[in-house]
Amino acid sequence: MRTRNKLLHCALALAIGTALSGPFTANAMDASDAPDLITIDSLTNLYGPVEFDHAMHADLADCALCHHHTTGIPAQDPNCLRCHATSGEADTVACADCHTADRFNKDYLESLDDPMLYHVDKPGLKGAYHINCIGCHVEVGAPSGCQDCHVMNDSGQQMFKTGDYAPDPQDHNNGGH
């Protein structure tokens, strides 16, 4: 019930802000449609998915903190404001809609209006998650270590040479580091 009230307050604030800021546009974010739980699985090649408790986080922070200017509230980051100072609401609020998983993909680079005006200051999807999540977690004293949120799978253990794939400690006694 508390989560629903918080989301309704957020939706009301967005609706009022939109009405006061200019011509009416449809809200990109409808509080009643916001999921309680979001599965973040962009690193499943190395880690299990992260079950993000959206409802709990919505109780702790304003929507625009994570969703930047997608909610109709102007961007706060000076890098974003250079181009998006007058941008209205986005049609969607998903991180992946602005932060691509593979920023150096040929198709993505060709999709830009001006590939020479590349968003060098806009992080990719994983960077956006980590900058937002870790920064806030450190600030409020919440878990911020890699495996606090990510459970490494077998492929991750192989890549990082840990768990079942960790080197034998006795091998380091033979002139190793």
pLDDT tens digit sequence for 90-123: 777 777 877 877 777 788 777 777 666 556 667 8
Give yes or no for residue 43 having a pLDDT over 90: no
Query: Is 80 assigned a ligand-binding role in the annotation?
Result: no
Stretch 142-151: mean pLDDT, rounded?
88
CATH number at residue 26: 3.90.10.10
The reply, when asked if residue 146 is annotated as ligand binding, is yes
Q: Is 54 labelled a binding residue? A: yes
Under a CB-based contact definition with an 8 Å cutoff, are residues 159 and 56 in contact?
no
63 has binding-site annotation = yes
Residue 69 annotated in ligand binding: no
Task: Assess if residue 174 is contained within a domain.
Answer: no
Do the annotations mark residue 10 as ligand-binding? no
| Domain span at 82 | 2-166
Number of domains in the chain: 1
DSSP 20: H
Average pLDDT value over all residues in the chain = 73
In a domain, 172, yes or no: no
| 25 assigned to some structural domain | yes
Q: Cα 24 vs. chain centroid, distance in angstroms?
A: 28
Q: Residue 177: inside a domain, yes or no?
A: no
